[in-house]
Amino acid sequence: MHNARIDTTQGLDGEAVVLAVFDLPDEEIAASAHAVKAFSGERFRNVELSIDDVLELRELTALADELGDLVLRPGVSTLVMRPARLNAWRDALTYFVESRDEQGWMRDEDREPLALVRGLLWPLGDLCADAMRAALSPPTSQPL
């Protein structure tokens, strides 16, 4: 993850809009897409879904699709995420890493993504914390 920052702008209704902006190389994007797909498949397999679960699955599917589309473009891509999606991404990556560590065995297709995703957890956690602080901070008054 490179050039990570939080952008806070004012929306049309005057509310603060907080966005996390960062660059990811295609290898990390591909690893993230793999981890998000694995998480959503494992998390929601064989369970009765509540409305909240359906919304979470929808968000994870959209995130996996977005990352999958970015994989098709070689090189470094700039990603822009709202705090909610950023936290969903962090939760998926955290689950992926922790579940693979707990299993004691690993599928071959998880080895490379696991190594790349593990390296994203720390900077992603910091970025999530910064995004939440920015989203929860009181608005600053604008001079007229």
Q: How confident is the model over 53-107, as pLDDT tens digits?
A: 888 889 999 999 999 999 888 889 999 999 999 999 999 999 999 988 888 777 8
Cα-Cα-Cα-Cα dihedral of 89, 80, 115, 31, to 10°?
Answer: 80
Whether residue 6 has pLDDT greater than 70: yes
pLDDT (average), residues 121-139: 89
Instruction: Using alpha carbons, list the distances in angstroms from residue 74 to 9, 33, 50, 51, 53.
Output: 30, 15, 38, 37, 33
> What's the pTM?
0.84
Tokens of 56: 């979470």
pLDDT class for 125, splitting at 50, 70, 90?
A: very high
Portion of the chain with pLDDT greater than 90, in percent = 58
Instruction: Using alpha carbons, list the distances in angstroms from residue 108 to 82, 104, 141.
Output: 33, 13, 54
Distance CA 117, CA 32 (A): 6
Reference 82, options 25, 8, 10, 1; nearest CA is 8
pLDDT in the model for residue 139: 65
Reference 126, options 4, 3, 2; nearest CA is 4
pLDDT in the model for residue 126: 94
Mean pLDDT, the chain, rounded, equals: 88
